[in-house]
Structure 1
């Protein structure tokens, strides 16, 4: 099978910094090649995380963003890589400074949360994931909790669920793409936009930060005297799934 080459964004950090966040969005629209849905952000409760997310939106970092990882009945993850249709390349998006962790709410079904490095609670940058199931018992208690900063509204989870049920492929030429959902099975001609699940755009559709979503329950994190708040094999497994430090496996084709 022929695979794409990874290329890196040529955007300068200075130019990205110049596009500071000016909107206090409450509702954003995810337009995808599998359907559209809205997400209500928790502006007042997780302000640092929301501002960070909006900053990436304003720079255009999430245009044709690839859903590069899915774990059945657990999470759907994206935000770190975009697809350049003109050049048939995958772009590893530039990252801003990591954002402070704000684990206020439980990682219940329908919430969007920030992905981060294992054993580093304040390491979230541009990658996010949707909780497809109620994952609070696990994710609220690991790595000082994963920050849920918004929630899918209306019937939007039908789209997320459809993505989560797609067949998964392990692409060895792309180390981050070990469990990648594809819309159709790849052929000998390689993988392109017809195969990937793409977030075509994320845009602000309601900038009223006072709009209150249906807030999820508070975090279920249990008090602990240890800074990591987790240990053991289960923790290693889940952190491996959600961390940005990814590994290489063989191709399923």
Structure 2
């Protein structure tokens, strides 16, 4: 009887480690081309989510601009604000957040951007994965910290942004998506304005219960320990995770405990 109880406890502990317990704050990203909602993974990546919500609650994302779009890769935002003038203003950032490389960069997930070669450098910028970018983004620079997932048909809005024409204004704006702006405009040095930028009017919390969409099952980052480094990093960012190592350790611990118990009973 005791032996069965011990085994049951070990299996329960193991099962809890294998699947992420997903509790969520839900935010809505409101843009001039449509809105989309994001389920945040509060319990899996708590520091990253708290960092993001600090910017949300401070109003830092009001009048933010989607400043980078790479078709088939990512759409990035969170770094620049349009205040009726160009060049854009940079978002005032706080202390960087510690990297939490737990989840995989699959289509529809959102992750933090950070500085190349510095896993713990994420501040305000984040991106939406347009495709399965796991093999590229999960292993490098400590992995890109996935901290949320786009809900419902929200990726239709993100895809619409990704389909816009892009223009090179240098630096972080080398792949800037613009509306109603042409190559002729660029050639004639026409300054883009609020009719052209993809502006995020605001990001707001619409459900703070942290039990919303608990049926989501985000994939673990299983590539965090691989050594491949790719040159296609999102500008300013990386993150990923090592749940498989914890599982192996738990299995080993369970076997040790069981063997010791059997020795004592023999």
TM-score (norm 2): 0.74
Structure 2 counterpart SS, 1:157: helix
Uncovered stretches (5+) of structure 1, i.e. residues with no partner: 1-23, 245-253
1:183 aligns to 2:179 (yes or no): yes
For the residue of structure 1 that corresponds to 2:55, the secondary structure is: helix
Work out the CA distance in 2 between the residues paired with 1:222 and 1:50.
20
TM-score where L is the length of structure 1? 0.78
The separation in 1 between residues aligned to 2:217 and 2:64, in whole angstroms, is 26
TM-superposed CA distance for 1:220, in Å, is 2.7
Aligned to 1:208: 209
The answer to whether residue 225 in structure 2 is matched with residue 223 in structure 1 is yes
1:136–1:220 Cα contact (<8 Å) kept: no
Post-superposition shift, 1:45? Answer: 0.6
Partner of 1:61: 60
1:134 to 107, 132, 135: 132
Contact 1:74 1:133 in 2 (8 A): yes
For the residue of structure 1 that corresponds to 2:82, the secondary structure is strand
The DSSP-based 3-state class of the residue aligned with 2:200 is strand
Query: Residue by residue, what CA displacement relative to the aligned partner does 1:163-203 show, whole Å, maximum 9, x if unpaired?
Result: 0111110014xx21000010111535411011011111000
Given candidates 96, 99, 104, the residue that maps to 2:94 is 96
Q: Which residue of 2 aligns with 1:47?
A: 46
**Could you list the runs of 4 or more consecutive aligned residues of structure 1 that deviate by over 2 angstroms after TM superposition?**
186-189, 210-213, 241-244
CA distance in 2, matches of 1:169, 1:222: 33
Note the C-alpha offset of 1:116: 0.5
- Gap change, CA 1:201 and 1:222, over 3 Å in 2: closer
Offset at 1:41? 0.3
Aligned to 2:142: 144
Deviations 1:90-124 (A, max 9, x none): 21111110001111110000000000011111110
The structure with more helix, counted as a fraction of residues:
2
Cα RMSD, aligned residues only: 1.8
Decide which moves more: 110-119 or 181-190: 181-190
- Structure 2 unpaired stretches of 5+: 1-22, 238-266
Structure 2 residue 238 is the aligned partner of structure 1 residue 238: no
The equivalent residue for 2:35 is 36
Q: Does residue 1:153 correspond to 2:151, yes or no?
A: yes
Structure-2 separation of matches of 1:99 and 1:145: 14
CA drift of 1:210 comes to 2.6
1:109–1:132 contact (8 Å) kept in structure 2: yes
1:25 Cα deviation from its structure 2 partner: 6.6
Q: Distance in 2 between matches of 1:81 and 1:51?
A: 20
Q: Which residue of the partner structure matches residue 249 of structure 1?
A: none
